[in-house]
């Protein structure tokens, strides 16, 4: 895909709990080279016991320990990506036969609680060095980690009013981490179902619902939340169960469905809600209706953009291109073409190929003004 595109950014999910940092650093550097800097990493710590067992663990690592590992993991990667090769290490001198100056490539000699990595990084610096960083943690620890390291954070809620406190918390945590809060972009996951008119969009919505599998929807809910709804009776109203997380989720859904507050939110109703679009926000309507709602989300929730979920492929994307993008362009809130060809992922968001100066990874940079990386004096 990178070979046949010029501007598209590719985000790759990789886990700090299962992957070894040395090999992951090599793979990301390689694809960053091959794509001319259009690579992003969606950082996850993973959570499923089944995944942990398939990666050779007896059970999943405890939540806060996973983030402790992830913190050290990021230090190892920053040292490899930013501090193992000096800016002027690669000289490509054909006459002398020197490709890189050995004294300008160093071992990182990382020794920590979870990782011992001598280095050096096996790849020369790629266009971005550190790939563009995404993250989607929702716990307190996850948000703190994301606000420190991520350049874009995925967030989700059923309504912008419910998302705003999370966005405010992320920006405050970024500030506490010494970063400009606006250097952390927040994008909301949302499902849009479009038609030429509101009526046509709703008709499409109902047709899509008819194809859904309610048992599958409840299974997905169990995977997302860790709660097996099959252990509850069919008539149980989940607004009143003893699990606060389930109560909060279901009350949020009830707020988004007109006339449903007085209805029983049992398994059947939860399954119907999840059939199209999953657990995040949904907007059904004409281009005008959907654009109005997206603008409201940006204003109310203080978000920077959207992760548009698809219901059908390629149908959902074709509808977005045909109906929604012309309306957004007409309002001047979506770009009309590419302003400059061949930018790296980070340049497209922040105008810089390298980490911004307030990012924690920037302290590991090794520039030609220094004989050894400054962080090694710390």
Asked whether residue 248 carries a pLDDT value surpassing 70, the answer given is yes
Average the pLDDT over 208-218 and give the result.
93
Asked whether residue 361 carries a pLDDT value surpassing 80, the answer given is yes
Q: What are phi and psi of 116, to 5 degrees?
A: -125, 110
CA angle 106, 350, 17 (to 5 degrees): 55
Asked whether residue 240 carries a pLDDT value surpassing 80, the answer given is no
Q: Are the C-beta atoms of 148 and 157 separated by less than 8 Å?
A: no
Please state, in angstroms and as integers, the Cα–Cα distance from residue 359 to each residue in 10, 28, 121, 179, 345, following that order: 21, 19, 21, 6, 16
Average the pLDDT over 187-197 and give the result.
97
Say how far apart CA 89 and CA 102 lie, in whole Å.
Answer: 8
Q: In the prediction, which pLDDT does 203 show? A: 97
Q: In the prediction, which pLDDT does 257 show? A: 67
Q: In the prediction, which pLDDT does 231 show? A: 86
Q: In the prediction, which pLDDT does 286 show? A: 98
Those residues whose C-beta lies under 8 Å from the C-beta of residue 32, and which sit 6 or more positions away, are 38, 39, 126, 127, 128, 129, 131
Whether the bond into 297 is cis, omega within 30 of 0: no
Q: In the prediction, which pLDDT does 73 show? A: 99
Please state, in angstroms and as integers, the Cα–Cα distance from residue 319 to each residue in 54, 305, 306, 324, following that order: 38, 18, 16, 7
pLDDT band for 38, please (50, 70, 90 cuts).
very high
Give one word for 36, left, alpha or beta, with left for phi > 0 and alpha for psi -120 to 50.
Answer: left
Average the pLDDT over 149-172 and give the result.
95
The residue written with tokens 């770009």 in the block is 335
Asked whether residue 296 carries a pLDDT value surpassing 80, the answer given is yes
Q: Are the C-beta atoms of 100 and 123 separated by less than 8 Å?
A: no
Q: In the prediction, which pLDDT does 172 show? A: 98
pLDDT band for 55, please (50, 70, 90 cuts).
very high
Give me 90's structure tokens: 């690669």
Say how far apart CA 21 and CA 157 lie, in whole Å.
Answer: 32
Q: Are the C-beta atoms of 99 and 123 separated by less than 8 Å?
A: no
Average the pLDDT over 352-365 and give the result.
98
The residue written with tokens 């309507």 in the block is 285
Q: In the prediction, which pLDDT does 372 show? A: 92
User: For 316-358, how does the pLDDT look when each residue is reduced to its tens digit (9 = 90+)?
Assistant: 999 999 999 999 999 999 988 888 999 999 999 999 999 999 9
Say how far apart CA 224 and CA 156 lie, in whole Å.
Answer: 13
pLDDT band for 221, please (50, 70, 90 cuts).
confident
Give the closest residue to 190 by CA, choosing from 298, 44, 318, 346: 298
Average the pLDDT over 298-315 and give the result.
96
Q: Length of the chain in residues, anyone?
A: 378
| CA dihedral sign, ordered 23, 28, 30, 31 | positive
Q: In the prediction, which pLDDT does 259 show? A: 63
Say how far apart CA 193 and CA 191 lie, in whole Å.
Answer: 7
**Cβ density class 29-39: b for 16+ within 10 Å, e for less:** bebbbebebbb
pLDDT band for 119, please (50, 70, 90 cuts).
very high
pLDDT band for 105, please (50, 70, 90 cuts).
very high
Q: What would the CATH number be for the domain defined by 2-188+301-308+336-376?
A: 3.20.20.30
Q: In the prediction, which pLDDT does 10 show? A: 98
Average the pLDDT over 97-111 and give the result.
97
- Average per-residue pLDDT for the chain: 93
Question: Which residue blocks in 35-159 are alpha helix, DSSP H?
Answer: 49-54, 63-83, 140-149
CA dihedral 213, 218, 219, 223 (to 10 degrees): 140
Percent of the chain with pLDDT over 70: 98
Most confident region among 101-105, 137-141, 261-265 by mean pLDDT: 101-105
Q: What are phi and psi of 105, to 5 degrees?
A: -125, 120
Which range (1-15, 166-180, 224-238, 295-309) has the least confidence? 224-238
CA angle 312, 317, 319 (to 5 degrees): 95
Give me 178's structure tokens: 């010494």
Q: In the prediction, which pLDDT does 302 show? A: 98
Average the pLDDT over 254-274 and give the result.
78
Give me 299's structure tokens: 């204003």
Say how far apart CA 223 and CA 308 lie, in whole Å.
Answer: 21
DSSP, res 179: S
Task: Classify 182 as helix, strand or coil.
Answer: helix
Q: In the prediction, which pLDDT does 258 show? A: 60
Task: Classify 164 as helix, strand or coil.
Answer: helix
Give the closest residue to 28 by CA, choosing from 40, 44, 15: 40
Average the pLDDT over 94-105 and give the result.
96
pLDDT band for 254, please (50, 70, 90 cuts).
confident
Give 115-126 as a DSSP string: -EE----SSPPP
Domain map (residue ranges) of the chain: 2-188+301-308+336-376
């Amino acid at each position: 895909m990178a070979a046949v595109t010029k501007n598209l950014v590719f985000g790759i999910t990789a886990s700090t709990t299962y992957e070894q940092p040395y090999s992951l650093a090599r793979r990301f550097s390689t694809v960053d080279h091959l794509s001319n800097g259009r690579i992003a990493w969606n950082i996850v710590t993973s959570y499923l016991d089944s995944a942990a067992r398939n990666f050779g663990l007896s059970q999943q690592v405890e939540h806060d320990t996973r983030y402790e590992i992830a913190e050290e993991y990021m230090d190892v990667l920053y040292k490899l990506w930013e501090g193992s090769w000096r800016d002027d290490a690669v000289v490509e001198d054909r006459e002398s036969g020197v490709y890189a100056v050995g004294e300008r490539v160093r071992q990182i000699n990382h020794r920590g609680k979870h990782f011992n990595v001598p280095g050096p990084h096996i790849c020369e610096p790629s266009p971005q060095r550190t790939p563009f960083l995404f993250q989607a943690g929702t716990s307190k620890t996850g948000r703190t980690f994301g606000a420190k390291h991520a350049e874009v954070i995925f967030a989700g809620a059923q309504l912008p009013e419910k998302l705003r406190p999370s966005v405010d918390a992320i920006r405050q945590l970024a500030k506490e981490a010494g970063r400009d809060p606006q250097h952390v972009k927040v994008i909301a996951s949302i499902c849009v179902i479009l038609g030429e008119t509101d009526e046509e969009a709703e008709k499409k919505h109902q047709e899509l619902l008819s194809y859904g599998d309610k048992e599958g929807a409840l299974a997905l809910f169990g995977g997302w939340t860790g709660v097996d709804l099959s252990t509850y009776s069919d008539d149980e109203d989940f607004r009143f169960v003893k699990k606060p997380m389930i109560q909060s989720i279901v009350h949020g859904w009830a707020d988004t469905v007109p006339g449903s507050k007085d209805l029983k939110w049992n398994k059947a109703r939860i399954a119907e809600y999840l059939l199209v679009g999953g657990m995040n926000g949904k907007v059904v309507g004409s281009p005008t209706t959907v654009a109005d709602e997206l603008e409201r989300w940006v204003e109310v929730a203080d978000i920077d953009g959207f992760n548009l979920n698809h219901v059908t492929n390629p149908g959902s994307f074709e509808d977005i291109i045909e109906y929604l993008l012309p309306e957004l362009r007409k309002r001047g809130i979506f770009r009309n073409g590419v302003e400059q060809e061949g930018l790296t992922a980070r340049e497209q968001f922040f105008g810089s190929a390298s980490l911004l100066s307030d990012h924690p990874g920037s302290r590991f940079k090794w520039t030609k003004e220094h004989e050894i990386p400054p962080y090694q004096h710390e």
